Amino acid sequence: MFNKAFLLFLIIPFFLFCQDSKTENALIGKFSPAKDYDFGILYRLTPTGKVYAKDSKVGENGEFKINLDSLPKGSYRLVYNLPEEVNYFDLIFNGKDEVSFTFSEESGVVFSDAQNKMLSEYLNKMTSVENELNSELTADKPNANETERLLRSQLGIQNKAEKESENSFASLFIKANKPYIPNDFKNRNIYFGDKKSNFFKNFDFEDRQLQSSSFPIKIIEKYYYEFIEVQGASFYRSIINDISFELRNCDSEFQKTLLAEFWQSLVNRNKNNAANYLAENYLSDLASSLDDTALSEKLNLFKNLAIGAKAPDFSWKDENDNKNTFYTTDVADYYVLVFWSSECSHCMEQMPVLNEKMTNLKSEKIKVIAIGLEMEDEPWKETITKLPSFIHVFKTDEDRANITLKYNITGTPTYYVLDKNKKIIGKPRGQKNLFGIIDSLEAYKK
C-alpha cells in the first residue's frame, strides 16, 4: 500500500507539469513602439471576404495576445490600426500551433513561429530573385549567364522551401506560389511566352484554403502587371481575358469577390480603361446574376465618370439668385471642378494656392468651378471672399448628398478636368497633378 501511494505521489506532479507545459494555441506578438498601438482585430479570411474572429488590446509594453483555441485552420488578417485597408498583415494558422511575431513600422511584421516564418522567408527570397530576373530580362541586352544564375537560384529556393515545409500547412502556399522555372533558358521571348502559358499551372483557384487567403488577388495582379510591362499597355484586354478564363470553374461568389477586388486595384492605379473592360465584360454580369445591386451601381457610376464620358449636370443659384446649370455654362474652353469644404484642412491649404495659380494664368480659357460641400453657409461665405477667381457653388443637405453621389466624392478636395463640351479629360490626384494638366492646357494652342 505504501509503495502504491508513494508512486502516485510521484506521478501526479509529472502529469500536472505536462499539462502546464502544453503549447497554447495563441497569437502572441510584440508591437513597437508600444505607444503607437492600442488594439488588434483578428479576421478570418474566406473566399468571399473577411469575417470577424477576435480582438485584444495592446499592452503598455506592446505585448499582444489572442487565444486561437476555438478558431479553425486557415488564413487570418490582423488589423493593428486605422484605416483597416492599410494597417494590417496576414498570417496562417494550422489549427494547433502558436503563432508569434514582432511588429514595427520600420521592419514590418517578423514572424518567429515555424509556419509563418517559413512562408514569409520563402516569399521574400523568391520575390527578391524574381525582381532581379525581370529586371535582367527587360534590359536592352540581357546577360544569359546572369539569367541562368538567377533561374538556378529560383529553383534552389523553391526546392529547399518545399522540402522544409513538407507535411506542414505552409506547404500548400509554397507549392501554389511556385513560379515558372524552365529547364533550359534559350532567349527572353521564348521564356516570357512559356512563362505566360504556365503562369497559373501551380495555383489551384478552386482550392478553398487558397481562396480563403490573399494569394488569389496577388497572383492575378502579378500576372496582369508583369505582362502589361512585357507586352505593352494596349494588351490589357487579352490579359484580363486570360485571368477570367482561369476562374471559369470557380464558384460565382468567389469570382465576383476576387474580380471586384481586382477592379478596385485597377481603379486605384488609374487603369480606367482596363477597369471598365473588366466590368463590362465580366464583373457586371456576375454582379447582376448574383443580385449585387450595390456593386452594379458602383461599376456604372465609375463608367459614367470615366475619361471621355460627359460629366453629370448640376445647377446652382448665383449671388443674384439666378439659376445656372453646368451644361449651359459657356465661359471657357476647359473647366476644373473642385469639390471642397471650408471644414476640410487640406482644402483650406490648397484652395488659396489654386486661386493664385488661376489668377496668374495668362489666358482665361480655363475656369474653376468650386463646389462647396458644406454643413452650413457661414464659414463658406467668409472663405470664398478670399477666392475671387472661381465660380462658387454652394451645396448642403440633400443637394450635397446628391452631387456627392453623382460624382462619387469620397474625400475632399477632389478634382475633375473637363473640356468645353463638359467631357471628362482628367481626374488628377492631388494638386501637383492638377497643375501639370493646367499648364499643359494653357500651353496648348487650338
Question: Cell 493664385 sits at which residue?
Answer: 356
- Domain map of the chain by residue range? 26-112, 116-304, 315-443
The pLDDT tens digits for 411-436 are: 999 999 999 999 999 999 899 999 99
CA–CA dist 63, 42 (Å, integer): 15
Q: Which pLDDT band, with edges at 50, 70 and 90, does 17 fall under?
A: very low
Compute the average pLDDT of residues 18-43: 83
Q: If you compute the radius of gyration of the chain from its CA atoms, what whole number of angstroms results?
A: 28
| Distant-in-sequence, close-in-space partners of 350: CB < 8 Å, separation ≥ 6 | 340, 413, 431
pTM of the model: 0.83
Contact 97, 66 (CB under 8 A): no
Looking at domain 26-112, which of 3.10.129.10, 3.90.550.10, 2.60.40.180, 3.30.9.10 is its CATH number? 2.60.40.180
Does the structure show a pLDDT above 50 at 21? no
Q: What is the mean pLDDT of residues 357-377?
A: 94
pLDDT one-digit tens code per residue, 266-316: 998 989 899 999 999 999 999 999 999 999 999 999 999 999 999 999 999
pLDDT digits (tens, 9 = 90+) for 250-268: 999 999 999 999 999 999 8
- The domain made up of 315-443 is a member of CATH 3.40.30.10: yes
Residue 79 predicted with pLDDT over 60: yes
Q: How far apart are CA 206 and CA 103, in angstroms?
A: 33
CA–CA gap between residue 273 and residue 295 (Å, rounded):
18
How many other C-beta atoms lie within 10 A of the C-beta of residue 284? Answer: 19
Q: How many residues does the chain have?
A: 446
pLDDT at 19: 42
The residue-averaged pLDDT of 121-141 equals 95
Peptide linkage before 413 cis (omega within 30 of 0): yes
Question: Could you tell me the pLDDT band of residue 445, with boundaries at 50, 70 and 90?
Answer: low
Question: What pLDDT, on the 0 to 100 scale, is given for residue 270?
Answer: 84
Determine the average pLDDT of the residues in 100-105.
97
**Mean pLDDT, rounded, for 53-71:** 97
